[in-house]
Amino acid sequence: MQIGQAVSADFYFCDYDMENNEQVIQDCLEALRYSGMTVFETVKHEFDPHGLTFIAVLAESHFAVHTYPEHRYMAVDIFTCGSGNPISTIEELRRRFRPLEHEVNSITRGVKVFG
């Protein structure tokens, strides 16, 4: 048994206009919903001259994305405890943002809670 799963992804050399922050947010929200996650609240911060941090509080836990358009790089973090599929969220984001390279890491959380 486990409490949850933490998944992080690094997207390198994205073939996507990450300077359009509203489209990035919309694509992230659609990817979360596609994966069966429920979004409760969101917050965003737009950096000057570019870049975005977007965080969503989920029924399943939370999601964060950080964009660096000047490097064509995106960092994604998802923690889930319950339903929802963070790996399918990452795959949907990869399909949308089209990185030339990507790395995905997953950590099982809370294993010792159940002995």
Domains of the chain plus CATH, in order, are 4-114 (3.60.90.10)
Average pLDDT on 93-105 reads 97
Give every strand in the sheet of 52-58, ordered side by side.
39-46, 52-58, 61-68, 73-80, 4-14, 99-109
Average pLDDT on 10-38 reads 95
The whole-model pTM stands at 0.92
Give residue 115's pLDDT. 62
User: What pLDDT band is residue 3 in, cutting at 50, 70 and 90?
Assistant: confident
Structure tokens at 103: 């790395």
Average pLDDT on 49-71 reads 96
User: What pLDDT band is residue 2 in, cutting at 50, 70 and 90?
Assistant: confident
Give residue 1's pLDDT. 66
- Residues recognised as catalytic: 61, 66, 81
